[in-house]
Chains A and B, each alone.
Chain A
C-alpha cells in the first residue's frame, strides 16, 4: 500500500469508497440520461472512473473492497427483489412459457458454443477458455460452473463482469437495429446476453422487459450450474 489511500484508516476508507462509487454512479447515470450514447452506459462509466480513481490513488483491490464489499453484498438482496417484477408479470410468463424455453435453449447453446469457438480461434490458453466459457451467466453460477469444469472461478468472475459491462451497452444498440416487436424478445435478449447488468438495462426499457430478463437470468444460471455439475460427474 502506498499513496493517499494508505493514510486512511479502515473505516474512513470504507466510507470514502462507498461514497466515491455512489457519487460516480449518480453522475454517470445523469450524464447517460442526457447523452444516451452506447459508451455512456452508467455501468461502463462508473466502472471506468472507479478503476481510474483507484489507480490514481494507488489503492489496491483490498483497499477498495473495505467499502466495496458492502455494495457487493447488496447484490444478493437485489436478486431477491426480482421476485416482484416476475410476480407482477406472471400472466405474461405463463402465457409464453414455451417461447421462454426456446429462447433459453438457443441462448445457452450460443453462449457456450460461441464463446468456446471464438476463444479457440483467437488462441487463448485452455485454462482461460474454461474460465471464460460461463461468461453469459450470473456470477455465482458462473463461478460454480468454472470450478466444476476445471477453470479458475476468479477469472470466470472477471469475464462475467466484462460481459455485463459490454452487454448492457451492446443490447442498447441492438434495440435500435433489430426489428423486435415483442417485449418478450427484448427482455430475453437482455437477460440471456448480459445477465444482471442486462436486467438493469431492461428496467430502463420497460416493466415487462425487466420481468422477463430477470426470470431468464435466474433460469439460465440454474441451467448453467446443472450442466457444470453434470460435466464434473462425467469426468
Chain B
C-alpha cells in the first residue's frame, strides 16, 4: 500500500517535471522569438532557440537531463502542431478544384525527385568515402 502511494507520487512527480521542462523550452522559444523580432534577425525564434540550446548543451554547463523529458513530449507530438497549418486550406477553396490537383501533382512529383535524389546521392557519397578509406 505504502509502496503504491510512493509509486503514484513518483510518477506524478515525473509528469510535473516533464511539463515544467516543456515550459522551460517554451520560455526559451519565447525569448528567442522576441529577440529575433526586435533585432530583425530574419531567423524564426524556433531556429534561433535551437542554436542557443545546442550551444548551451555543447558548452556542458547545461545538462541534457534538465530538458530531456519536456523535449521528448514536444517531439512526440510534433505532427499534431502541423494540423492547424493545414487548416489554411479552408481559406483557399480554389485548391479544391483543378488547380489544386495540379499543385498536388507538382508537390508529389517534386517530393519523389528530392527524396530519391537526396537519398541516393548521400548513400553513394558514403559508399565512395568508405572505399576511399579502405
Q: List 30 A-B contacts (CB under 8 A).
A: A25-B79, A42-B79, A61-B87, A72-B85, A74-B26, A75-B85, A77-B26, A78-B75, A81-B25, A83-B50, A83-B57, A99-B122, A102-B121, A107-B114, A115-B110, A122-B102, A128-B99, A132-B106, A158-B92, A170-B115, A180-B119, A182-B122, A182-B123, A185-B122, A185-B126, A197-B79, A200-B82, A218-B50, A225-B42, A225-B43
* Complex interface residues of chain B between 14 and 33 (CB less than 8 A to chain A): 22, 25-26, 28-29, 32-33
Q: In the complex the two chains form, is B79's CB within 8 Å of A167's CB?
A: no
- Knowing A107-B114, A196-B78, say if A155 contacts B58 (CB, 8 Å): no
B44 touches A141 (CB 8 A): yes
Nearest residue (CB) in B for A194 is B111
Query: B110 contacts which chain A residues (CB < 8 A)?
Result: 111, 114-115, 118, 135-136, 163
Q: Which residues of B contact A107 (CB under 8 A)?
A: 114, 117-118, 121
Most buried by B among A78, A88, A189, A229: A78
Q: A: which residues have CB within 8 A of B?
A: 21-22, 25, 42-43, 46-47, 50-51, 54-55, 59-61, 64-65, 68-69, 71-72, 74-88, 90, 96, 98-99, 102-103, 106-107, 110-111, 114-115, 118-119, 122-124, 128, 132, 135-136, 139-141, 144, 154-155, 157-168, 170-171, 174, 178-182, 184-186, 188-190, 192-194, 196-197, 199-200, 203, 210, 218, 221-222, 225, 229
- What's the count of A-B pairs with C-beta under 8 Å? 289
Interface of B is mostly: helix
Evaluate contact between A77 and B123: CB separation under 8 angstroms: no
Contact with A along B73-96 (1 / 0, CB 8 A): 011111111111111111110010
Q: Are A98 and B129 in contact (CB under 8 A)?
A: yes
Q: Which residues of B contact A64 (CB under 8 A)?
A: 84, 87, 90
Assembled-state Cα–Cα distance A84/B28 (Å)? 14
Shortest distance between the CB of A127 and any CB in chain B (Å)? 12
Is there an interface contact between B125 and A98, defined as CB atoms closer than 8 Å? yes
- Which residue of B25, B70, B83 has the most chain A CB atoms within 10 A of its CB atom? B83
Which residues of chain B are within 8 angstroms of A78 by Cβ–Cβ distance? 46, 74-75, 77-78, 81
Of the candidates A72, A110, A179, which one forms a contact with B117 in the assembled complex, judged by CB atoms under 8 Å apart?
A: A110
- A80 adjacent to B28 (CB under 8 Å): yes
Q: Which A residues touch B86, using CB under 8 A?
A: 43, 47, 50-51, 161, 165
A122 and B105 contact, Cβ closer than 8 Å, known pairs A87-B54, A110-B114, A184-B122: yes
B114, A103: Cβ atoms closer than 8 Å: no
For the complex of A and B, 6 pairs with smallest distance between CB atoms: A79-B46, A68-B84, A80-B49, A83-B53, A193-B115, A81-B71
Give the interface centre of A47, A124, A168, A221 by most chain B CB atoms within 10 Å: A47
Most buried by A among B29, B52, B53, B79: B79
- Contact status of A154 and B88, CB under 8 A, knowing A43-B82, A103-B118, A166-B104: yes
Contact (A124, B102) CB under 8 Å given A182-B123, A197-B79, A200-B79: yes
- What's the nearest-Cβ distance from chain A to residue B79, in Å? 5
Closest chain B CB from A160 CB (angstroms): 8
Provide the bound-state CA to CA distance between A155 and B106, in Å.
14
Q: Is the CB of B92 within 8 A of A155?
A: yes
Determine the distance from Cα of A82 to Cα of B42 in the docked complex, in whole angstroms: 20
Tell me the smallest distance from the CB of B10 to a CB of chain A, in Å: 23
Q: Which residue of A lies closest to B48 (CB)?
A: A80
